[in-house]
A and B are shown apart, each in its own frame.
Chain A
């Protein structure tokens, strides 16, 4: 009965080269990278997801324990503190970095003398390595001799009080990273055609409505990218915490990544640390999906 397939004519394009040799060349081009990728990124990542379901630690043989690591979260106050601090940190840092990054970019996009000095000044902190930023800000925020308190004329116990320690780290983070966002926004601003501003001006739009009616809508793709990157980086905050407070005082600045480090590399409880990292992974994926969906909806709304 099954005669049809055999008699069906082969499409010409497939039939043309009768016995072409398999082309290995593309695979030779990607092979060197692929070896590194599989050995040092893909493999370990998949293994990491697996280890989260084991009780692997420095002692004893690892066993598969299913979701038990994740069940422990419910009665682990340190994990809960880390999760909460990370969310608070992100909720405060991200809006600051976006608004200030955009404000500085818009300000320094004007064709006026001295703007390059401004751009360099805003970006330079980003070039300084995280641990140096940490050491520097630890001193700037010193209760007695720190520059910040001396100028404020107050004695705020920035990094030594549970109530404000996280804000000290936020302050340092904003100073350190705002230039990076500014550069991304500056690149986005270059792509907006000057004619649009021209047209808006002829229509009698003032600077503010030019900003809200022309700049903001046309900058939406850039803002989307910057927002995503800033959120991803904020959720992974570690370096400044490690240097400035090591998670303390108490658990007031303990973040998820700091907790992964402590559990994984100090306590050497690899399974539980991986489970904490998986939580971070789920949060990041979730946020990326939500954001992409919102963005698409907003975008099609504009076009419709």
Chain B
């Protein structure tokens, strides 16, 4: 066996597994530590000794976190808002994206240009007037305030248009010859073809809405409406050096686990759709 054979067969895989292990450990360590800490009693937490596996397992941090903070309510609000916003957005974007891709009408290009150019205006410019509008309507601190603005997102329209530009026109032509109306063609011919694009837009919209922070922070005041990211920010009152509560660390790690695990589990199941959706858009919000 020559040296290059040995290198190919043994050395390269060895290096690969070593680097892979280092990468996985470094990236997962914070999450592992979060889970481990959340299961420890306070005496084990406040120490510089590192124990990755708790000596005694306890759920008291979770009980305390759920007892002190309406985490369930925040989560419910997040689910309601994200689902409603996703449904509305997918519907609006599939309609508009189709028209921009497959129909000719006066003002089409200029309209589309104006829509896409909004991507460059940071939402902080938009948020102040938006807040004033919702205040005027007396709709701040309602689900409406959190759901409706998502429908105006630009990425989804852009994505849907890209997708519809790429599908062949024969099926639509056939349906048109049969005398089907535009809306009928859209619903029964085009939409069934658009499953991958609809899924991508749905995933992206859901994820952005679920994680959205700035606007919900500004638009909500009470726990009845507050979403999970905004609620989680309340744990900042437990910041080290600020709160003298020795149980703070276990408590906030328990809260973090409760908020972080559902999306992580969903991600691991939907991994492929997820990554496809993101690499197709390359855009957030």
- Interface residues of A, Cβ cutoff 8 Å to B: 23, 25-27, 29-30, 32-34, 36-37, 39-45, 47-49, 51-52, 104, 107, 110, 112, 114-115, 117-125, 127-132, 134-140, 142-145, 147, 150-151, 160, 175, 179-180, 183-184, 186-187, 225-226, 229, 233, 235-236, 238-239, 242-244, 246, 257, 260-261, 264-265, 270, 273-274, 277-278, 280-281, 284-285, 288
Looking at chain A's contact residues, is the secondary structure mostly helix, strand, loop, or mixed?
Answer: helix
User: A residues within 8 A CB of B27?
Assistant: 121-122, 124-125, 175, 179
> Could you list 10 A-B pairs, sorted by A, with CB under 8 Å?
A30-B111, A33-B151, A33-B157, A42-B114, A48-B129, A131-B235, A131-B259, A184-B279, A242-B213, A284-B120
In the bound complex, CA of A25 to CA of B176 (Å): 14
A183 touches B278 (CB 8 A): yes
B34: CB under 8 A from chain A? yes
Q: Is B1 interfacial (CB-CB < 8 Å)?
A: no
- Contact residues of B between 84 and 139, Cβ < 8 Å to A: 91-93, 95-96, 98-100, 103-105, 108, 111, 114-115, 118, 120-133
> For residue B263, which residues in chain A have a CB less than 8 angstroms away from its CB?
127-129
Q: B23 near A107 (CB under 8 angstroms)? A: yes
- Rounded to whole angstroms, the CA-CA distance of A276 and B121 in the bound complex is 13
B252 within 8 A of A: yes
How far does the alpha carbon of A101 sit from the alpha carbon of B263 in the complex, in Å? 22
In the complex, chain B residues whose CB is within 8 Å of the CB of A26: 99, 103-105, 108
Give the distance to chain B from A215, nearest Cβ to Cβ, in Å: 17
Which residue from A107, A239, A244, A260 sits with its C-beta under 8 Å from B124? A260
List the B side residues contacting A39 at CB < 8 Å: 133, 148, 152
Closest A residue, CB atoms, query B268:
A120
Closest A residue to B232 using CB positions: A131
Contact B50 A277 (CB under 8 A): no
Q: Which residue of A104, A244, A274 contacts B125 across the interface (Cβ within 8 Å)?
A: A274
Of B14-22, B56-64, B193-201, which stretch is located at the interface? B14-22
